[in-house]
Amino acid sequence: MMIRLARAALYAVLPAELLVAILLVSGVTLPGPVFAVTEAVVALVFVLEATTAYRLFRAARRRGADRRAALRETLHHLVPMPVRRLMGFELKSLASVVLWMARRRQGVPRGATAASYSREQTPMLLMMLFAMIVETVAVDLLLGAFDVPAGVRVPVLLIDIYGVVIGLAYAASSVTHPHVVTPGELRVRHGVHLDVRVPRDRIASARASRKYDERGMITVAGGTLAVAVSSQTNVTVELTGPLTVTRPLGSQVEVTTIRFFADDPATVLNALKSHEFSTP
């Protein structure tokens, strides 16, 4: 009960505190009682969060967990899984920019076959990034023309720049996290958001099969996982039985068929056929 209350309080107070901060740096004078009540509520929520975190940490320590494990368990209890995964996606995407600049790929061992899927979406992503940069410059010039206070202009500019960085990070993650075929498994990936590992002995068949009307980037319907690029898939893998797949926000589903897109589907199919599907 206390954990649910702490989560609810955190969700409610953070947006309100952010709004108050923006108003203050913008030069808006808040009535004294409003400011006092807001800060009092924030202080109470901070005490609630700290108390809850301390109790969770102590409980984990009493169960024999070391400090790092206890801290990790406390974080997992206080922060819901979808939020943790979204934060992890952003950090991994930013790390992908470093990998991309170093011309390295993640999770491609020596002797493995990497199959890219970024070529089809690169023109669209470049146009999107260009539009975001133009919008960032235009909005800043417009706010300056209307003499909007720096307290508003700077946060808006930082948010827009961060959006451009995240867009670049998404593009980099698609390049640095290709599909991978090894003698032991097939990894179907979509940037840092999806990583499905299929043991070779779970693959019944693989074939080229182009589909142009996928409804989303990562969808599951009727036991089929579709990992699309520009609404397209071109490789279909049939499994010998249900495989548990973790979706981007943490929920799990069982699938028996996987459709995905590769820039060169023959690369994937030839790599799969170079070894028998029953290879352990």
Query: Which parts of the chain register pLDDT below 70?
Result: 1-49, 275-280
Specify the pLDDT at position 26.
45
SS3 content of the chain, % helix, strand, coil (to 5): 55, 20, 25
In this prediction, residue 48 carries a pLDDT of 66
- For position 187, what pLDDT does the model report? 98
The contacts of residue 244 (CB under 8 Å, 6+ apart) are 252, 253, 254
pLDDT score recorded for residue 264: 96
pLDDT of the residue at 76: 75
Q: What is the pLDDT of residue 148?
A: 81
pLDDT digits (tens, 9 = 90+) for 220-240: 999 999 999 999 999 999 999
Q: How far is CA 11 from the centre of its chain?
A: 20
Q: Supply the pTM of this predicted model.
A: 0.76
**Structure confidence at residue 277 (pLDDT):** 45
H helical segments located in 102-243 = 122-145, 150-176
From the list 186, 127, 185, 136, the residue with the least C-alpha distance to 156 is 136
pLDDT at 8: 60
The pLDDT value recorded for residue 107 is: 95
